Structure 1
Amino acid sequence: MNTKERLQILYDTELKPQLAEMEKMRRFVKRWRAFAITSLILAFLFLYSDYVVLRILGGAGFFAGAIYAAVLALRTYNKYHKQFKTEVVRKVVHLINPDYKYNSAKHIEVYEYNKAALFKCKAERCIGDDLVFGKIDKTPFKFSEVKTQYKTTTTNDEGKKVTEWHTIFRGLFFFAEFNKNLEGQTFVFPEKDRTVTNFLGKEKEESRIHGELVKLENPEFEKIFSVYSTSQQEARYVLTPLMMEAIVTIYNTFGFKMYFSFRGENVFCAIPFNRNLFEPSIKRSGVNFRDVEEMYMLFGLIKTLVQEMNLNTRIWTKSWN
């Protein structure tokens, strides 16, 4: 039985009935959220009435109604969200591998993210959820959705300090133990990434912080990715022909923009997304196999990365317990 058949059986026998039952909560949230928004609009309209009584009674009444509706919607949404994570997301993760650990509230820590050194700015805080961790054969890994940020502090015209948070990366972030403690560091960027090249395709001066440009002997890989390393020799040691073929296969299969770094004893991978993942929808029905299938594919990407990149073949000199 292939993975899609197993997922379809899980969906038909367990997930679909649960999602259908949870649909009542989704509709409740959607209805009361709409009522809250409508009441708030009406409250503001009454505030502009020419009649004092209407301004007081109408404005206050609809404003109170908006608060009541918002509280009802929020309470129900929190229940819906928790149940979705427990009853749906957790089961999808366990279908991939029952030994994986899943925590809907936790995420990759900021110090773990900064170890990758993939982006120019160092993160000062990390927000996220849906942490998955465990081992694939002998390879420990962690994986979660994250949004990383750095802050700037300026002084406004009134002399007050203003702190702003700026997003560096938003998406899926994964790391696993590599099968050697590397002395240098090697980075793999999307070829069209404008943070390392200009519009003419020439590398920017600031990209040199990642080392020298490395030319490799895989034309298809070179069309998709650019490689920078502090050691030309070690970059070729890491990015073997099989490793490059595996990364190209992953790219061709999923079509995601991917960033890799090989540093110390870890391989890191960052995949940008501009939307929340693994979250229940309020706008449309949650009884949808395609949503579950996408969730399975994204979580299953961990296993694909480790296996395709051959991390479990420990051919180098590092000793393992």
Structure 2
Amino acid sequence: MDNAYNPREVNLGALYNEKIEPHLVELKGERRKYQQELFRIVLSVIGLVIFILMYSKSGSGLFLVPVIGAIALIIVFGIKASRKMKSYRSAFKEKVVVRIVKTINPDWSYHADGMISESVYRTSDIFRRSFDKYRGDDLVRGTLDKTDFECSELHTQYREVTTDSKGRTRTRWVTIFKGLFFHADFNKEFHGKTYVSPDFAERFLGRIGRKFQKISGPAPLVVLENVEFEKEFVVHATDQIEARYILTPTIMEAMVNIRRKYNCNVHFSFIGSRVYCALSMRKDLFEPKLFGSIVDLHEIENMYHLFRVNEVIIHELNLNTRIWTKD
């Protein structure tokens, strides 16, 4: 791609050595306080179990007194542990995560407990399954050249309740989406809706999958003449002409680059005047560890490249070129 994005060089080693490593002692101290409370909880639970096993058959009413006391102690330790964890997490975000974000762009705003709003998530129409839980954090908001954007972690789930043959109910939480969610101005007011999704059906079912795509999408199927793109994605759109207008060869190539760069399932939608992008990830991305090294250079590099998804998408999709004007 002729206009491929070439980011400015950042010395992540210097970032780690000069701005993050000096704070690791402080972070270890915060984590140690939390670990101590966890240790007290574990000891209390073990003690309670041993006591119940030894004296449960005694028949004495006094048996309940130490049991209630132990349970109260566990609750107290649990509350204290929760507070210590919040303190440790807050310190980690301040000493590590904020510095990574500001290294990419000092003008971006970062909110550790912020997230993409539910209304934006719904407007994207990428995941149409209704959710019962909506959580997120690590909101980054800013502007690159002429393009405004937002990005955060999100985790949406729905509750599934089943009943077995004996009438017993079982509840489980099913993930709809977990990962990074991004949206930005496209500088074009779309009349229809265009969806670009991972091509699971044709990838695993071949020609039969193509037939399934025609009846399973949120809008009519759009077949494009880009072999590499078609291997990775399937397109549905309410307006076929507009979809082809949006998905130029350059943008299709960019989407393939993003999919391969982050090595995860990627969804896009073009609705209103914005582009939405959801990158599915299995684990929490910017959270402190409870054991082992708090953070090392390799983890700093991973966080840096994940936060740079904002730059990558905007530059790969060429959003700053402004080849269109809003109607």
Cα 1:207/1:106, change in 2 over 3 Å: farther
Per the alignment, residue 299 of structure 2 pairs with 291
The one of 229, 235, 238 equivalent to 1:230 is 238
1:22 match: secondary structure: helix
The one of 26, 32, 40 equivalent to 2:31 is 26
User: Please, what TM-score do these two structures have when normalized by structure 1?
Assistant: 0.86
Is 1:281 the counterpart of 2:289? The answer is yes
Q: Within 5 Å, which residues of 2 pair with 1:179-194?
A: 179-192=187-200
- Confirm or deny: 8 A CA contact 2:140 2:151 kept in the other structure: yes
1:277 match: secondary structure: coil
Give aligned-pair identity as a percent.
38
How big is the alpha-carbon RMSD for the aligned residues of Structure 1 and Structure 2? 3.2
Give the superposition deviation at 1:86: 1.4
2:200 match: secondary structure: coil
Give the superposition deviation at 1:201: 2.2
AA of the residue aligned to 1:111? S
Give the superposition deviation at 1:48: 2.7
Distance in 2, matches of 1:263 and 1:56, equals: 62
Cα 1:125/1:264, change in 2 over 3 Å: farther
Per the alignment, residue 118 of structure 1 pairs with 126
Give the superposition deviation at 1:74: 2.5
Is 1:127 the counterpart of 2:135? The answer is yes
AA of the residue aligned to 1:14? K
Q: Within 5 Å, which residues of 2 pair with 1:184-263?
A: 184-192=192-200, 200-204=208-212, 208=216, 210-263=218-271
AA of the residue aligned to 1:141? F
Distance in 2, matches of 1:93 and 1:231, equals: 38
- Confirm or deny: 8 A CA contact 2:264 2:281 kept in the other structure: no
2:96 match: secondary structure: helix
Distance in 2, matches of 1:209 and 1:218, equals: 20
Cα 1:110/1:287, change in 2 over 3 Å: closer
Paired residue total: 315
Deviations 1:137-174 (A, max 9, x none): 1111111111224568999xxxxxx9987542222111
- Confirm or deny: 8 A CA contact 1:135 1:141 kept in the other structure: yes
AA of the residue aligned to 1:241? P
Bigger shift: residues 310-319 or 215-224: 310-319
- Confirm or deny: 8 A CA contact 1:108 1:173 kept in the other structure: yes
AA of the residue aligned to 1:28? K
Per the alignment, residue 44 of structure 1 pairs with 49
Q: Within 5 Å, which residues of 2 pair with 1:87-106?
A: 87-106=95-114
Q: Within 5 Å, which residues of 2 pair with 1:59-70?
A: 59-60=67-68, 62-70=70-78
Deviations 1:34-74 (A, max 9, x none): 33123213212312323559945764564455344434432
2:54 match: secondary structure: coil
- Confirm or deny: 8 A CA contact 2:217 2:236 kept in the other structure: no
- Confirm or deny: 8 A CA contact 2:196 2:234 kept in the other structure: yes
Cα 1:3/1:45, change in 2 over 3 Å: farther
Distance in 2, matches of 1:41 and 1:189, equals: 49
- Confirm or deny: 8 A CA contact 1:81 1:280 kept in the other structure: yes
Cα 1:266/1:203, change in 2 over 3 Å: farther
AA of the residue aligned to 2:37? W
Deviations 1:4-29 (A, max 9, x none): 64222111001011123211222332
AA of the residue aligned to 2:40? F
Distance in 2, matches of 1:288 and 1:164, equals: 35
User: Please, what TM-score do these two structures have when normalized by structure 2?
Assistant: 0.85
User: Structure 2 regions of 5+ residues with no counterpart?
Assistant: 1-6, 164-169
